[in-house]
Structure 1
Amino acid sequence: MRRAQERQFTTHDGSSLFYRHWPPLQAGGEARALLLLHRGHEHSGRLQHVVDELGLDGFAMFAWDARGHGRSPGVRGDSPGFAALVRDLEAFVTHVGDAYGIAPQDIALIGQSVGAVIAATWVHDYAPRLRCLVLTAPAFQVRLYVPLARPGLALMRRLFGNFFITSYVKARFLTHDPERVASYDTDPLITRSISARVLLELADAADRVVADAQAIRVPLQLLISGNDWVVHRQPQERFFERLGSPVRECHLLPGFLHDTLGERERKPALDAIRAFIERMFSAPPAADSLLQADRSGHTRDEELRLGQPLRRLSPRRWSFAATRLAMRTLGRLGEGIAIGLRSGFDSGSSLDHVYRNQARGRLLLGRLIDRGYLGSIGWRGVRVRREHLLAAIASAAERLRVAGQPLRVFDPAAGHGRYLVEALQALPERPQSLLLRDLDPANVAQAQVLLDAAGLADIARCETGNAFAEAELAALSPRPNLVTVSGLYELFSDNEVVAASLRGLAKASERGGYLIYTGQPWHPQLELIARTLTSHRGHQPWIMRRRTQAEIDELVRIAGFSKLAQWIDDWGMFSVSLARRD
């Protein structure tokens, strides 16, 4: 039996979470790690048998108690949201790298049930360069048994706020192992309840990950319990069918109940996991590139579908037509829609209105229309992205301050530059220089007005420029050590165009300087946008190709930057990443 060392790590929001660390039994084996995520209601102490029975003596092993579980703090069965649990995983992988010197490419991850959904969501949203991932009985769809339970829970939460649901699943429906049944029933650290917030957001995240499983590229093994009374099998099978991982395998385990790794006859499952992990570590990580994803792949196919007209008798065609008509008539009373119709819904002027988030329009009706427009999920996500941009800028500025370097900032497509000005005003020290560029002279003029009002005119200048002109970017003077690119690359499908921009920024940047870039790996309203909104580029339909996080990260990496950190909203729509110039 391997003895666990008990530790604490500080996660993304400052909370201190409990974890167990099992050092490798073989000397010098700390360079490889296996991370274990426990099932819902449980805790890391119940994974001791998995550590022992897997063997893998050359691996350091880690498992932590999810917040609200085991010996970690928080209301039992609750968290600030499901996305917080995903961020905890990101924080823990960072902690393993900082404290034990183990990089993601030397880590294997095993997630069980709810832990498997956390793991899959993290891999989808953050695109870590993980060596491999094992999912057992992922809770992509929990069996609630009550008709319309999910919409009913959502309605109750909207009316009454968060509340808790007690699980009545008996241990005998989890495993045939009598010892596991007895220990589950008597374990004082088992958490019997789960909050409606976590349960509903778990379901939303699972739907998104299953629908977009092609974005996951990590080598993956899926174990499905054949007689599972807790979660449905079909979403697991759909997930595997859509999976984008070049290396993948699926095992159906007949007769197994939900606690896959705690079943009485669990040896075949553990043998399959051990063999998979050993095989993944027996050779360097498989080469896998997404640089041609703009030419072929699921996001390219999606983009082409959005550009095709709908059938004449399609109900969706007439629904979108009615939306367009409403926007061009009554919708014009709202300022946001009026700006979008005039200059494009993806223009700097439109984005500035979204950032200000002040409902305006003609008459009371216009203000009500604008409030509904500004409250759409897409624009809410954009405003969260703004908050994350401020956090990323503060982080980069602090790193440069600690290194004793004056701050020199450049944005090649700043629009009105509002978020950047606000971020710089919040810093303890003023930048040495600030250069804002944009292709639209009207945006440049508005940015200059904003800089003058903010008292930054003495250190800043605004000018027209092409964010995709590699040679023009490479010739920047003074050379910046913080480059911010927000909401730009998402508007252009062609990877070579984006790669040219990044090459120019890499040549312009000082080594050790920082790049902040944004991405849009997911959006639930892509078709609505494509069929109702227009772009600033000739008032054409605003058709976007989603660029997965793995794809944009690869473009940044080949340009000469190393990714350090990432922020993403709770819906998984808009990411903000911080990278350092190599």
Structure 2
Amino acid sequence: MMHNNTQHQFISHDGTSLFYQRWAASDNPEQKAIVLFHRGHEHSQRMAHLVDELKLPDFDFFAWDARGHGHSPGERGDAPSFSACVKDIQSFVQHLTDTYQIQPSNMVVIGQSVGAVLAATWVHDYAPKIRALCLASPAFDIKLYVPFAKPGLTLLSKLRGNFFITSYVKAKMLTHDEQRAAEYDTDTQIAKAISVRMLLGLYDASKRIVEDAQNIFVPTQVLCSGSDYVVHQKPQRLFYERLPHPQKEFHILEGFYHDTLGEKHRSIAFDKIRRFVQQSFAENHQPIEIVHADKIGPSCAIAEQLSAPLPKNSWKYWFWNLTKKNLKIGSRFSQGLKIGEDTGYDSGSTLDFVYRDQPESTNILGKMIDRQYLNAIGWRGIRIRKQHIEQLLPVYAEKLIAADQPLKILDIAAGHGRYILDAVAKISKRPQSILLRDYSELNVASGNRLIHSKGLEDIATFQLGDAFDQASLASIEPQVNLAVVSGLYELFSDNDLLRQSLSGLSQAIETGGYLIYTGQIWHPQQEFIARALTSHRKGEAWVMRLRSQAEMDALVEQAGFKKIDQYIDQFGIFTVSIAQKI
């Protein structure tokens, strides 16, 4: 059977038109696809040989040119961020589903080197239900051969901004295939340089994904080149060992250089990939059960460990006690720390201070502490989460308005309601109603003042309400068609609470209506938050159980919703997703 090659464009998340190729099978009744992601510096045509050599005639093949590569736009070797390229994959796969009616569950993703890291990050952060993932020599840790290269590049990027580094890699270090090496040297579309922001973004994402590979829930095969001069082998092994899916494989290909899929004896690799792909389709696709991760599994164990008291004579006990005392002392000067100590660092009052993003202390020391506090990576992520909600809410509000449906908005844990009311200002038509709810009388009072200041009293109300009271949520009248739950579920480990809330929300939302929900899938300061910060719950420690995106999506799906889009900050911490009531 032959594959028919055609070339196309798709519009990505930021409006950029990216190039891709399709090799359509002459007979593909099951609508199966292989999606290819090329190495750094390269482009889709460098993977075109896989279409014939993999010997999978009943699959469509797709391969893109990442932005800044091949026929896609952008400065060569650069992109707005590494996370923007990961989001490009989400847009690409959605395009394939919409255009060719190929479901993710019928897709196998094959990525090489940087393309493998992009693919692994996408699977981790966006939790697509793909059939399988094959990673060839993932570039989790590039051999830079220069001492202190990464910290040096980080410092230089802060001083100089973005700049470019030319790759030291020669073709003879990539493959024993002389023809392929010669093509690498003469291919004018290969970008030999990479921007520092992309390189540092690659490092940061790789470190996070290797550490948190426990939250990749798809069958995964890792092919490791045994004589790789470009990337280290150890992180590939660590990544594989942490994968939770029982259908996983790790292969060391002795003597192979870095271009695993372009090596002289690449048929050895292709035989393994072909068998893995075919076996993945030999049985019905059954995602592994993850909705009980609050009761068993790594995230549950980590949260338990962080909840346990430390031995009183240990250095960690004294360190965290000193940290808490320093925060108490700092709260005498800093308004931000005072709000956190008085109301909880996860309270609506704290969030409102973080959203305002301005030092509010009256003394110089307090202002300095406020600024350092507001610049913490978690608070930066929180503000990006607010921006993402403000982007998503008007988009889906406009969809409802375009369908001549009166817009009825609900937020079940609104805090002070700032992000909702700010987002409403961007909608072309005033909503018919806005109902904000919160458990805190303080937040309700502050929210009502904010409603008054924005002149929305005629359409907006703020009520006291429990976001986990299923009956109370279900009884909301009239039903709404755009609901938001932001920053709430991340604070509670118990999935039964989420089920109650989501079940009530499902009854409160009209069929075809939308739910915007947030998640926290990773946090670099999880132990600091648990050991040093207090929550809004009567001064208790703020212990977070990080909930994978796959787990959060599964709970939303159980309640009768279908996920349709997602955003995530460049740090990989906070997600904002949209689902439709079905």
State the TM-score, normalized to the length of structure 1.
0.98
**Structure 2 match to 1:8:** 9
> 1:227 Cα shift?
0.9
Q: Deviations over 1:321-350 (max 9, x none)?
A: 332222111333111110011011111111
Q: Deviations over 1:226-273 (max 9, x none)?
A: 111110000000000111223211111111111111111111210111
Partner Cα distance (1:93, 1:246) in 2: 25
**Structure 2 match to 1:532:** 532
**Structure 2 match to 1:149:** 149
Does the 8 A contact of 1:412 with 1:465 survive in 2? yes
Q: How does 1:86-165 map to 2 (within 5 A)?
A: 86-165=86-165
Does the 8 A contact of 1:110 with 1:116 survive in 2? yes
> 1:315 Cα shift?
4.1
Does the 8 A contact of 2:441 with 2:464 survive in 1? yes
Amino acid across the alignment from 2:564: L
Q: How does 1:372-521 map to 2 (within 5 A)?
A: 372-521=372-521
Partner Cα distance (2:313, 2:124) in 1: 36
Unaligned runs of 5+ in 2: none
Does the 8 A contact of 2:28 with 2:59 survive in 1? no
Partner Cα distance (2:402, 2:314) in 1: 59
SS at match of 1:333: coil
Partner Cα distance (1:285, 1:317) in 2: 47
Does the 8 A contact of 2:292 with 2:495 survive in 1? yes
Does the 8 A contact of 2:334 with 2:369 survive in 1? yes
Amino acid across the alignment from 2:548: T
**Structure 2 match to 1:53:** 53
Does the 8 A contact of 2:245 with 2:288 survive in 1? no
Partner Cα distance (2:178, 2:291) in 1: 51
1:19 partnered with 2:20: yes
Partner Cα distance (1:380, 1:499) in 2: 29
Partner Cα distance (1:213, 1:205) in 2: 12
**Structure 2 match to 1:273:** 273
Aligned residues: 581
Q: Deviations over 1:331-387 (max 9, x none)?
A: 331111100110111111111111111111131111111111111100000000000
**Structure 2 match to 1:196:** 196
Amino acid across the alignment from 1:66: A
> 1:531 Cα shift?
1.0
SS at match of 1:23: strand
Partner Cα distance (1:54, 1:314) in 2: 56
Does the 8 A contact of 2:565 with 2:577 survive in 1? yes
**Structure 2 match to 1:300:** 300
Unaligned runs of 5+ in 1: none
Amino acid across the alignment from 1:283: E
Partner Cα distance (1:513, 1:177) in 2: 55
Does the 8 A contact of 2:511 with 2:581 survive in 1? yes
Does the 8 A contact of 1:331 with 1:369 survive in 2? no
**Structure 1 match to 2:82:** 82
Amino acid across the alignment from 2:339: I
Partner Cα distance (2:230, 2:310) in 1: 40
Does the 8 A contact of 2:566 with 2:575 survive in 1? yes
SS at match of 1:565: strand
SS at match of 1:466: coil
> 1:28 Cα shift?
3.9
> 1:312 Cα shift?
4.3
Amino acid across the alignment from 2:17: S
Structure 1 pair 413–341 and aligned structure 2 pair: CA distance change class (3 A): same
Partner Cα distance (1:144, 1:25) in 2: 44
Does the 8 A contact of 1:217 with 1:246 survive in 2? no
Partner Cα distance (1:381, 1:55) in 2: 44
Does the 8 A contact of 2:76 with 2:191 survive in 1? yes
RMSD of Structure 2 on Structure 1 (CA):
1.2
Return 59-68 or 311-320, whichever deviates more.
311-320
Q: Deviations over 1:366-409 (max 9, x none)?
A: 11111111111000000000000011111210221222211111
Q: How does 1:61-80 map to 2 (within 5 A)?
A: 61-80=61-80
**Structure 2 match to 1:251:** 251
Q: Deviations over 1:482-524 (max 9, x none)?
A: 1100000000000011011001110111100000000000000
Identical columns (%): 52
Does the 8 A contact of 1:227 with 1:256 survive in 2? yes
Does the 8 A contact of 2:531 with 2:541 survive in 1? yes
Does the 8 A contact of 1:140 with 1:203 survive in 2? yes
> 1:303 Cα shift?
0.4
Return 281-290 or 75-84, whichever deviates more.
281-290
Partner Cα distance (2:310, 2:117) in 1: 34
> 1:282 Cα shift?
2.1
Does the 8 A contact of 1:394 with 1:423 survive in 2? yes
**Structure 2 match to 1:352:** 352
